[in-house]
Amino acid sequence: MANFLYQGDLPDGLDLGPSVAIDCEAMGLNHKRDRLCLVQMSSGDGNCHLVQVAPGQTEAPNLQRLLADPEVLKLFHFGRFDIAAMAQTFGTLAAPVYCTKIASKLVRTFTDRHGLKYLLNDLCGIDVSKQQQQSDWGAETLTEAQLDYAASDVLHLHKLKDALDVMLAREGRTALAQQCFDFLPTRAQLDLEGWPEIDIFAH
């Protein structure tokens, strides 16, 4: 396994295949206030490609092409946040997408533990550390510990998706999950447009 760190964008000609696991690190959870700092990606081959986003940066052409490519499935865990963060920064809405957190909530109704750490442990037998989760992602130079943490959030998403797909099929909820994934970019857009907590489907 190797981490490849880039400044500002993915390199020209990098092909990450038909499905790419993506996660983001930001200065906080408020899209209007807290800037995007890092976007990490993996094709499921054990390698991680990380793009450090500069303060004030609004374009990353190669990354934006990947996000918008209809032939590439983007895998997330809690994609609602990451999709909105990248849309806020780059103006590009990721699609098509798959979210392991949504899949878990649809089939693992026997538990309220849907965090990535729990899912990887329960379904894949993989233990990941969350020690660096609240570190300073806006630092000019990121530590090896930060890069390893960021990589751990995407390296196993393909394997996790496979396990969840089996459960979705078993419970007859594959089609329902797909409809939720299709709506997810719109849900992220609603967050950015001012409806983060309001259920517009309520009475």
Which whole-number Å values give the CA distances from 145 to 21, 38, 48, 148, 150, in the listed order?
20, 14, 14, 5, 9
Digits of tens for pLDDT over the chain (203 positions)? 799 999 999 999 999 999 999 999 999 999 999 999 999 999 999 999 999 999 999 999 999 999 999 999 999 999 999 999 999 999 999 999 999 999 999 999 999 999 999 999 999 988 887 665 678 999 999 999 999 999 999 999 999 999 999 999 999 999 999 999 999 999 999 999 999 999 999 99
Identify whether 96 is preceded by a cis peptide bond (ω within 30 of 0): yes
Determine the pLDDT at residue 130.
65
pLDDT one-digit tens code per residue, 87-111:
999 999 999 999 999 999 999 999 9
The Cα–Cα gap between 201 and 102 comes to: 18
8 Å CB contact between 21 and 75: yes
The Cα–Cα gap between 36 and 55 comes to: 8
- Set out the domains of the chain in order of their start, with CATH numbers: 3-10+17-193 (3.30.420.10)
Burial of 19 (0-12, 13-18, 19+ CB in 10 A): middle
Determine the pLDDT at residue 132.
59
Put simply, whether the predicted model's pTM sits higher than 0.75 gets the answer: yes
